[in-house]
């Protein structure tokens, strides 16, 4: 066979394995909107809120041309759940993987979506996700491949929470002395639509709210979801909430959980699901109820004492008009602090047979304690007494180009005091801010034990959903109280789920294991937006000598403007 023939064969194989290039043009801009019937400024994309749904096939390359039309702040987009193998600069984390895109500038994100699944994208700069910068990202199997389950149709639910207080006001409050909390959201949104001060179900449930009266063309009018009787539908669910943990239910219908964070799970049947910020699921729904009726899709707050009404929309059996309201009340959201119910759902998530198993042993272990602290009078969240502050120059470039003084060179603590009382913590006068990085060698197996404790004031411990960029991890186990070495006996090494989001329950611990096989710098943080803003996160760096050329666009800030020109990166 000639060299030319071999070259042609290689090109054909490359095209088959890597798929097409799909291009999107995103103009990020302020706009007026009425997500819950109250007009206010939101951040939209191409004049729409939420942003457009991105669809692709595994192996496709996405090319998103993002222009920042926000006239007073930078922006980035994080492609949540996409691992970015070979393109760590495209992860979309300001000050970690790239410089923020300045107003008026355009940035080209190019990366491969290497596996099918349900994902989302969102702003990762300040509180821009809270302001509405998010959308769905759906990656389908390559042609010729078959899903692990059968279904007849597909629905897509993007869940979020909504405030009437601007994100600027929220940021000022979180950064002030005295501290001012953001408080609970005014409404819950399904695909960017919700209702404030009225309820779709006012006539069939006990509520002080009046019935919503819509003509049908209102921006906040609920989007109905059409189905045919006796079919099976895959419902893709993603949570872009800023604060709220949610419970989702569909009146009189069972749900079969089949996917979590882009990975197949062992199917199990539930009446409702808990979904934390940053999580994605696929569930199967069989439309086997009375076809002469429509049914409520409801979301309600879990894990916090709710001050926000349920978000509602309608599952419309096409044998009826979409204007026909259900005659029964919406499903009742479980008690907000019924954590045993939440744990029952979470503990039932296992990897589907055939899911890659974790290594039996770890090379390095981190025990990360979440605490609330006062740092120079400011209320902060800290990990092992360090509250994360991000540098002005992205870590990815600073480490590769040896830019001195851009971040703390002292490695953050690997653990916390053995005598620490998680139920009655001290005020922690030693807590401070920092920008240090945990460094890993290529292919090191890393265990992370996330430990939850009491908040600074009052007897209360909160739910924290954590998200790891650039990787999936195995969830080895959960436990109540303080983690002990003997708890390793409880670890599930047989069929743990692969995920990129995980919950830490109040006064509890969660154990993860991952392989540092993706050269780059990666954020690992609580996905509750105000908590991350207050410092609840860490940064992992691994095998940076293996990172290939970084586009100059990603480095166009501060000292890097000159460094990137004079230093060659291959």
Phi then psi for 398, rounded to 5 degrees? Answer: -60, -45
Cα–Cα dist 481/454, whole Å: 11
Residues 130 and 47: their CA atoms lie apart, in Å, by: 17
Q: What is the pLDDT of residue 399?
A: 81
- Cβ-based burial of 359 (10 A; exposed 0-12, middle 13-18, buried ≥19): middle
- Nearest residue to 501 via CA among 301, 157, 241, 271: 241
Q: Model-level pTM?
A: 0.94
- Name the pairing type of β-strands 232-239 and 280-286: antiparallel
Q: What is the pLDDT of residue 563?
A: 55
Contacts of residue 1, Cβ cutoff 8 Å, sequence gap at least 6: none
Across-strand partners of 264? 259
With residue 80 as reference, give the H or E element that holds it: strand 77-80
Write out the CATH class of domain 364-554: mainly beta
pLDDT value of position 404: 77
CA–CA gap between residue 399 and residue 546 (Å, rounded): 12
Q: Given this model, what pLDDT does residue 398 score?
A: 85
Count CA atoms closer than 13 A to 505's CA, side-chain side.
22
Residue 501 φ then ψ, to 5°: -130, 145
Q: How far, rounded to the nearest angstrom, does the alpha carbon of residue 453 sit from its chain's CA centroid?
A: 22
Nearest Cα residue to 141 out of 130, 133, 132, 149: 149
Contact, 304 vs 184, CB < 8 A?
A: yes
- From first to last of the 570 residues of the chain, give the pLDDT tens digit: 333 333 333 333 333 345 899 999 999 999 999 999 999 999 999 999 999 999 999 999 999 999 999 999 999 999 999 999 999 999 999 999 999 999 999 999 999 999 999 999 999 999 999 999 999 999 999 999 999 999 999 999 999 999 999 999 999 999 999 999 999 999 999 999 999 999 999 999 988 899 998 887 899 999 999 999 999 999 999 999 999 999 999 999 999 999 999 999 999 999 999 999 999 999 999 999 999 999 999 999 999 998 999 999 999 999 999 989 999 999 999 999 999 999 999 999 999 999 999 999 999 999 999 999 899 999 999 999 999 999 988 998 888 777 877 888 889 999 998 888 898 876 666 789 999 999 999 999 999 999 999 887 767 899 999 999 999 999 999 999 999 999 999 999 999 999 999 999 999 999 999 999 999 999 999 999 999 999 999 999 999 989 988 888 888 776 665 554 444 444
> For 348, how many CA atoms within 13 A lie in the half-sphere containing its CB?
15
Do residues 13 and 139 touch, judged by C-beta distance below 8 A?
Answer: no
Q: Which residues of 292-319 are buried (b: 16+ CB within 10 A; e: fewer)?
A: ebbbbbbbbbbbbebebbbbbbbbbbee
Which CATH fold topology does 153-348 show? Immunoglobulin-like (2.60.40)
Helices (H) and strands (E) in the chain, counts: 6, 34
Residues 165, 171, 175: CA angle, nearest 5 degrees = 135
Return the closest-CA partner of residue 108 out of 61, 65, 60. Answer: 65
The alpha-carbon radius of gyration of the chain (Å, integer) is 23
Distance CA 77, CA 121 (A): 7
In this prediction, residue 505 carries a pLDDT of 97
In this prediction, residue 456 carries a pLDDT of: 75
- Integer Cα distance of 238 and 281 in angstroms: 7
**Phi-psi label, residue 81: left if phi above 0, alpha if psi -120 to 50, beta otherwise:** left
Helix-, strand-, coil-residue percentages of the chain, each rounded to 5? 10, 35, 50
564 HSE (CA, 13 A, CB side): 20
CA distance 502 to 450: 10
Residues of the chain with CATH 2.60.40.420: 21-140, 153-348, 364-554
In whole angstroms, what is the distance from residue 488 CA to residue 476 CA?
A: 9
d(CA 568, CA 402): 13
Q: State the fold for domain 21-140.
A: Immunoglobulin-like (2.60.40)
Helix or strand or coil: residue 459?
coil
Q: Which residues of 495-510 are buried (b: 16+ CB within 10 A; e: fewer)?
A: ebbbbbbbbbbbbbbb
Three-class SS state of 357: coil
């Amino acid at each position: 066979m000639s060299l030319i023939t071999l070259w042609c064969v290689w090109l054909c194989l490359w095209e088959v394995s890597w798929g097409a290039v799909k291009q999107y043009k995103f103009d990020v801009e302020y706009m007026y909107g009425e997500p819950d019937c109250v007009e206010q400024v939101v951040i939209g994309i191409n004049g729409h809120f939420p942003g457009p749904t991105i669809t692709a096939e595994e192996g496709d390359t996405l090319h998103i041309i993002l222009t920042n039309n926000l006239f007073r702040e930078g922006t980035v987009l994080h492609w949540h759940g996409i691992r970015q193998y070979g393109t760590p600069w495209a992860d979309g984390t300001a000050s970690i993987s790239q410089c923020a895109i300045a107003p008026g500038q355009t940035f080209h994100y190019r990366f491969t979506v290497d596996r099918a699944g349900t994902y989302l994208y969102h702003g990762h700069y300040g509180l821009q996700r809270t302001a509405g910068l998010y959308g769905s990202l759906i990656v389908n199997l390559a042609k010729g491949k078959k899903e692990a389950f059968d279904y007849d149709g597909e629905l897509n639910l993007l869940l979020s929470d909504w405030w009437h207080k601007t994100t600027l006001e929220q940021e000022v409050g979180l950064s002030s002395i005295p501290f001012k909390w953001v408080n609970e959201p005014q409404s819950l949104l399904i695909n960017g639509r919700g209702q404030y001060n009225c309820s779709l179900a006012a006539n069939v449930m006990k509520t002080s709210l009046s019935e919503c009266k819509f003509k049908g063309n209102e921006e906040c009018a609920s989007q109905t979801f059409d189905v045919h009787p006796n079919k099976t539908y895959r419902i893709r669910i993603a949570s872009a909430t800023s604060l709220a943990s949610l419970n989702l239910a569909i009146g009189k219908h069972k749900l079969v959980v089949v996917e979590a964070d882009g990975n197949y799970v062992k199917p199990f049947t539930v009446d409702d699901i808990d979904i934390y910020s940053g999580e994605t699921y696929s569930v199967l729904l069989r439309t086997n109820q009375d076809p002469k009726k429509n049914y409520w899709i409801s979301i309600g707050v879990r894990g916090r004492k709710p001050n926000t009404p349920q978000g509602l929309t309608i599952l419309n059996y096409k044998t009826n008009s979409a204007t026909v309201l259900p005659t029964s009340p919406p499903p009742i959201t479980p008690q907000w602090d019924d954590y045993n119910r939440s744990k029952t759902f979470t503990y039932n998530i296992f990897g589907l047979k055939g899911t890659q198993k974790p290594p039996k042993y770890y090379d390095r272990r981190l025990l990360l304690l979440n605490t609330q602290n006062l740092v120079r009078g400011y209320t902060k969240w800290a990990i092992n007494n360090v509250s994360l502050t991000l540098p002005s120059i992205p870590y990815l470039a600073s480490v590769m180009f040896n830019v001195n003084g851009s971040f703390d060179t002292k490695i953050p603590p690997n653990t916390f005091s053995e005598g620490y009382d998680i139920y009655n913590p001290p005020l922690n006068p030693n807590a401070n801010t920092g920008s240090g990085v945990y460094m890993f060698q290529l292919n090191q197996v890393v265990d992370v034990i996330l430990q939850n404790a009491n908040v600074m004031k009052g007897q209360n411990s909160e739910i924290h959903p954590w998200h790891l960029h650039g990787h999936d991890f195995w969830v080895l186990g959960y436990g109540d109280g303080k983690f002990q070495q003997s708890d390793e006996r409880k670890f599930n090494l047989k069929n743990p789920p692969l995920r990129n989001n995980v919950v830490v329950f109040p006064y509890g611990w969660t154990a993860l294991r991952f392989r540092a096989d993706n050269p780059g710098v990666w954020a690992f943080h609580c996905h509750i937006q105000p908590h991350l803003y207050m410092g609840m996160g860490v940064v992992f760096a691994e095998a940076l000598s293996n990172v290939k050329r970084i586009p100059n666009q990603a480095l166009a800030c501060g000292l890097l403007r000159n460094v990137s020109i004079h230093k060659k990166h291959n």
